[in-house]
Amino acid sequence: MAATDIVAEHGYAAASIEKIAQRAGVGKQTIYRGWPSKGDILMEALAHKADMHIPTPDEGSWAADLRRLLDDSFALTRRAPQIAGLLRALMVEAQLDPIFGERFRANFLQRRRAAVATLVERAAHRGDLPPVVTADLAADVIYGVIWYRLLAVPGQFDDRSADDLAALLSPGPDSAPLADTSAPATQQPGPRPAGA
């Protein structure tokens, strides 16, 4: 797509409706009839790519469905690293432009959350959804981690990340609470008072 090619080559700031129209070989008015801004063009391209590469097939269980979603999401980010930069740019745009922010939440973020809700509803119908998991919780955990790594502390989207998220949202029958590592494992007794 013309818009994503320009961003990949020159960055988000360099993209404009004029350049997108020129690359696509159409007039600016043709672009404006379909999209109110360059952010909307790029958002639609990303949403389409996510729908294509992160499907929600029935893998037979909540754990398998969840792991497929995580694997596909992380694989897309690794396979097309420019997507990470584009996601950052669109999130920034959404903070600076409240009107675009509303469209971004409705047309992109909610679309991805709906994909998670599909898995949750399917698991609830099958009867294998962990008791504490809801659609909102699952989406918050999955996309909270993804956006935190995109925006705040850049990190890898690898198999270990998928393992950790899957363990949080699909605990096994023998799972135990994580140990509290904030306090020393053993505590040495203090001196005994006289006469004790």
Distance between CA 87 and CA 135 in Å, rounded?
22
Q: What is the pLDDT of residue 3?
A: 81
Q: Would you state the pLDDT for residue 93?
A: 95
**pLDDT reading at 187 higher than 80:** no
- Tens of pLDDT along 87-107? 999 999 999 999 999 999 999
Nearest of 161, 163, 120 to residue 138 by alpha carbon: 120
Query: What pLDDT shows up at residue 103?
Result: 97
Whole-angstrom Cα distance, residue 36 to residue 170? 41
pLDDT at 175 over 60: no
| Three-state secondary-structure class, residue 151 | helix
- The span from the CA of 118 to the CA of 39, in Å, is 27
Q: What is the pLDDT of residues 74-91, one digit of tens each?
A: 999 888 888 888 999 999
Reported residue count of the chain is 196
Q: How far apart are CA 71 and CA 157, in angstroms?
A: 9
Number of helices followed by number of strands (H, E) in the chain: 10, 0
DSSP state of 13: T
Give tens-digit pLDDT for 106-142. 999 999 999 999 999 999 999 999 999 999 999 999 9
Measured between alpha carbons, how far is 66 from 72 in angstroms, rounded to an integer?
10
Query: Quick one: average pLDDT of 20-39?
Result: 87
pLDDT at 191 over 70: no
Q: What is the largest CA-CA distance in the chain?
A: 95
Q: What pLDDT does 173 receive?
A: 55
Mean pLDDT of the region 53-72: 96
Report the interhelical angle of 17-24 vs 38-53 (nearest 10°). Answer: 60
Asked if 149 contacts 58 with a C-beta cutoff of 8 angstroms, the reply is no
Give the pLDDT confidence score for residue 6 in this predicted structure.
84
Q: How far apart are CA 142 and CA 161, in angstroms?
A: 10
| Spacing of C-alpha 140 from chain mean position | 9
**172 band by pLDDT with thresholds 50, 70 and 90:** low
Q: pLDDT value at position 177? A: 38
CA distance 11 to 15: 7
Output the average pLDDT for the chain: 85
The pTM of the full predicted model, rounded to 2 decimals, is 0.79
